[in-house]
Chain A
Amino acid sequence: MKKDTVYEVRTYSSTSISKLSKKLLKHVLIVTIGLGMLYPLLWLFSSSFKPNTEIFQSNSFFPQTFTLDNYKQGWSGLSGVTFGKFFANSFFIVAMCIIGNVIACSMAAFAFARLKFALRKMWFAIMLITMMLPFHVTIIPQYIIFNSLELVNTYVPLILPKFLAVESFFIFLIVQFIRSIPGELDEAVKIDGCGPFKLYIYLIMPLALPALVTTTIFTFIWTWNDFFGQLLYISEINLYTVALGLRMFLDAMGQNSWGALFAMSILSLVPLFAIFIFFQRYLIEGIATGGLKG
């Protein structure tokens, strides 16, 4: 009996050592894969501080001569328009899209989740279908409409659709969230004599704040990364966004100023990275529960 216990203790300690080394191996592996994946990004970052001649000549990861010239040259932009202008344009579009999405999508979501009206189920089904619809079947007539209204080369085609809740993913997300808010609260507010408008503004909206934050974050990312829409509707350089500015850089400069291109690429990723740092929880939850594309 006593022998048995001793034996047991010994196996326990030896397995715990092998367990520990297994665990360590796992961590090493995860970190290695992670570093391998992030390496291109790190390389982009370090190259943005190298002189052009060094970027492709030396194999060293860290810059041998550290320079901010790429950032200066890149920021000065092209044809007299600076990258600052492109950033301002992008931020303006993003801000308007966020306002549009939050207002329009939350209104529709409130209607679907809390109000009763004729054909509600049918409209809800249509909303779900539009979530899956490829944009190709609408983009050509949309372009024709905006063109005939002389709205090409303005931001209206990029912003207006958000005020009309076209990104129905967010409606769905907010509907799901509002449904999780207990209905007794509504009743209490109704007894106090509040109508649907007050219910929406003073009760549902504040309680649905997490869903609205998720909407804001994903609108930011999607709009910031959008290229197709901006390419389609914007051709005047004064109206260029960061994405269009980068593409123009690539075309105009070609092979000999990768440094400036890299520097501006890094800057274009900074807002996304900031969101990632500050709103990570919302990002991860948005993907995990709403299936939103990151």
Chain B
Amino acid sequence: MNKLKQAWRNNWVGYLFLSPWLIGVLTLSAIPMLASLYLSFTSYDMFTPPKFIGLDNYATMFQDAKWRDSLRVTSMYVFLGVPLQLIFALAIALFLNRGISGLRFYRAIYYVPSLFGGSVAIALLWRQLFGSKGLVNSFLTTLGFETKNWIASPDTALYTLIVLMIWQFGSPMVIFLAGLKQVPIELYEASKIDGASKWKQFSRVTLPLITPVVFFNLVMQIIGAFQAFTSAYIISGGSGGPLNSTLFYTLYLYQKGFTHFQMGYASAMAWFLLLFIACATAILFLTSKKWVYYQE
């Protein structure tokens, strides 16, 4: 009896401390998730009650050329941009890693773009940098190259956004640096005695030992990149243009849901994205057994 009372009391206290989160997870995560799943099978404009239409939204979606564009653009951004960003982050981290004085200072400097990068101000700056009269073009002119309006051309607009993502390599770099610190220095000494070249040292010692960090960065950056919005919205003026070339998935979802008020369709888009990201992450986790090396 006494024990039971104790357990009840502990439950009571535990749930009391948990209650803000619990209310939040129910009202702002779980219920909305189920609601958007239901809405994805309806036609709903917020003014008239939702009308059940089965899988029509999904069928329309797969036929929608603009939706396919947004998926293609986002996939390019994620699967080209993230690896490039991580390669850059790792290269700089390796460069900064051992025996360099002023590491803290350099690390801080390289981190600054990461801190600012998500802001509207930087997106505005980027729009100017790659514009027809922008800084990039004035550099190219002095070097004698041809100039173009990088933002207004459908061939290059997306790449300006990818460059913006790579520019923010600071936070994965910091994580890489933390990982590199864990690699025991004796291993380098041992491989040096064995006469291993720098490249061999990197590919046989460093890289295998930091694969868990690579994996972590890859998962986090991919999930984050799928949700990118601000840069594309500001640089394209909210349109995702030119010719849908910067139409990020989130931007198209925003247009559908909140400017056209096709909330059923937007919900279907959201659920497709959830499954898409889940698949991408699952594939990463499954293949990770092959290439991620965990000590112990």
Residues of A within 8 A of B112 (CB): 38, 41, 276
- In angstroms, how far is the closest chain A Cβ from the Cβ of B283? 15
Interface, chain B (partner A; CB < 8 A): 7, 10-11, 13-15, 17-18, 20-25, 27-29, 31-33, 35-37, 39, 46, 92, 95-96, 100, 102, 106-116, 118-122, 124-125, 127-129, 133, 135, 138, 142, 167-168, 170-171, 174-175, 177-178, 216, 220, 223-224, 226-227, 229-230, 233-234, 237, 250, 253-254, 257-258, 263, 266-267, 269-271, 273-274, 277, 281
Could you show 30 A-B contacts with beta carbons less than 8 Å apart? A30-B95, A34-B106, A38-B113, A40-B125, A103-B20, A107-B20, A111-B15, A116-B14, A134-B270, A134-B274, A136-B250, A136-B269, A140-B32, A140-B257, A140-B266, A144-B35, A196-B17, A224-B119, A225-B230, A227-B234, A228-B250, A242-B120, A250-B234, A262-B125, A264-B121, A265-B125, A268-B119, A276-B112, A293-B220, A294-B114
Given the contacts A134-B277, A293-B220, A117 and B14 also touching, CB distance less than 8 Å: yes
Q: Which 10 A-B pairs have the closest CB atoms?
A: A164-B24, A117-B14, A141-B32, A265-B121, A294-B171, A288-B178, A111-B17, A136-B270, A141-B35, A108-B21
Interface assignment of A272: CB less than 8 Å from any CB of chain B? yes
Residue of B46, B92, B220, B227 touching A144 (CB-CB under 8 A): B46
Residue of B10, B258, B274 touching A143 (CB-CB under 8 A): B258
Interface, chain A (partner B; CB < 8 A): 23, 26-27, 29-30, 33-34, 37-38, 40-41, 43-44, 56, 59, 103-105, 107-108, 110-112, 115-118, 120, 123, 126-127, 130, 132-145, 147, 161, 163-166, 168, 171, 195-196, 200, 221, 224-225, 227-228, 231-232, 242-243, 246-247, 250-251, 258, 261-262, 264-266, 268-269, 272, 276, 280, 283-284, 287-289, 291-294
Asked if residues B17 and A137 are in contact (CB atoms below 8 Å), the reply is: no
Residues of B within 8 A of A137 (CB): 32-33, 36-37, 267, 270-271, 273-274
- In angstroms, how far is the closest chain A Cβ from the Cβ of B215? 12
Residues of A within 8 A of B125 (CB): 40-41, 44, 262, 265
Asked if residues A164 and B119 are in contact (CB atoms below 8 Å), the reply is: no
Residue of A107, A132, A264 touching B21 (CB-CB under 8 A): A107
Complex-state Cα separation, A258 to B106, whole angstroms: 31
Complex-state Cα separation, A157 to B71, whole angstroms: 29
Given the contacts A221-B115, A250-B124, A265-B121, A134 and B24 also touching, CB distance less than 8 Å: no
Given the contacts A34-B110, A40-B125, A287-B174, A142 and B28 also touching, CB distance less than 8 Å: yes
Main secondary structure of the interface of B (DSSP, over half): helix
Interface centre among A111, A243, A283 (most CB of B within 10 A): A111
Residues of A within 8 A of B216 (CB): 291
- In angstroms, how far is the closest chain A Cβ from the Cβ of B12? 8
Residues of B within 8 A of A111 (CB): 14-15, 17-18
- In angstroms, how far is the closest chain A Cβ from the Cβ of B87? 14
Given the contacts A142-B28, A165-B21, A135 and B115 also touching, CB distance less than 8 Å: no
Asked if residues A30 and B24 are in contact (CB atoms below 8 Å), the reply is: no
- In angstroms, how far is the closest chain B Cβ from the Cβ of A164? 3
Asked if residues B23 and A291 are in contact (CB atoms below 8 Å), the reply is: no
Interface centre among B21, B29, B223 (most CB of A within 10 A): B21
Asked if residues B138 and A59 are in contact (CB atoms below 8 Å), the reply is: yes
Complex-state Cα separation, A196 to B14, whole angstroms: 9
- In angstroms, how far is the closest chain B Cβ from the Cβ of A221? 7
Asked if residues A115 and B13 are in contact (CB atoms below 8 Å), the reply is: yes
Residues of A within 8 A of B17 (CB): 107-108, 110-111, 115, 196, 200
Residue of B25, B115, B127, B175 touching A126 (CB-CB under 8 A): B25
Asked if residues B258 and A120 are in contact (CB atoms below 8 Å), the reply is: no
Residue of B229, B257, B271 touching A227 (CB-CB under 8 A): B229
Residues of A within 8 A of B178 (CB): 288-289
- In angstroms, how far is the closest chain A Cβ from the Cβ of B122? 8
Asked if residues A108 and B267 are in contact (CB atoms below 8 Å), the reply is: no
